Structure 1
Amino acid sequence: MQIPPSKNSSLRYRFLRFGGCLIALFLSGAVLAGEPLEQRVQNYWTARTVNDWHTVYRLESAALPGGWLTPDQYKRLGGLPVRDVKILEKKIEGESAQVKIEGRVAVGSLGWMPQTLEEQWVLVNGEWYHQTVKAE
């Protein structure tokens, strides 16, 4: 004998499935077309925080077609572990922007140290990308 699911359990299942999809989208670091600069910067640094190199790579200007950056190169340029990143200010001038951020970086035995950083972003085909700095 099969017991039909109640109306409440069916609704609960749909709600949980929808919530799971939203969480998966959020955790995937999806890069959406036409996102404002602030959202792109936040996505970039959230991805750096959780070592989501796939998303970080997709947000680098030098990873665009014709660019010099390959995924294995970027992992070597990754830098120190970061957390608690927030945007302090941004200045947009045409197709470039300067963004000042603040966060904490892991510095060996010193632990998590505060750091402020100014970085460049560029607008390419209507999308903002982190201006990749080439290591010397």
Structure 2
Amino acid sequence: MKTAATIALFCAGGGLTRYYLSGWIYGLLGRAFPYGTLVVNIIGAYCIGLIMELGLRSTMLSDTLRIGLTVGFMGGLTTFSTFSYETFKLLEDGQFVMAFTNVLASVAVCLLCTWLGIITVRSLA
């Protein structure tokens, strides 16, 4: 029960963070490209690499906190469904280059950031 409550609490925090952060990014850069979703997914990719590596290689995070942060906060923060919808809308609108750019940037940059999160922890060990 403690783990489930932790996940729920952290998920709410992640969802609110996504809402405000992506809204702020869209306010800065506009909505012609799904910048807000891309930014939160990049941040989430880095953070999940960092948290998982730190949580599994050290005793700095309890299992409950690690699960709360990854399943809860990162689950609430990042969003594959929004990425899929926004990419579909770009395709539907005939913006094929923008759609391809979104897919490439999302996959490549998020994988890179996950790796950076992992090597950040490894370099500190």
Band of TM-score, shorter chain: under 0.3
Q: Give the structure with the larger strand fraction.
A: 1
Higher RCO by CA contacts (8 Å cutoff, separation 6 or greater): 2
Q: Which has the larger radius of gyration?
A: 1
TM-score by length of 2: 0.28
TM-score by length of 1: 0.26
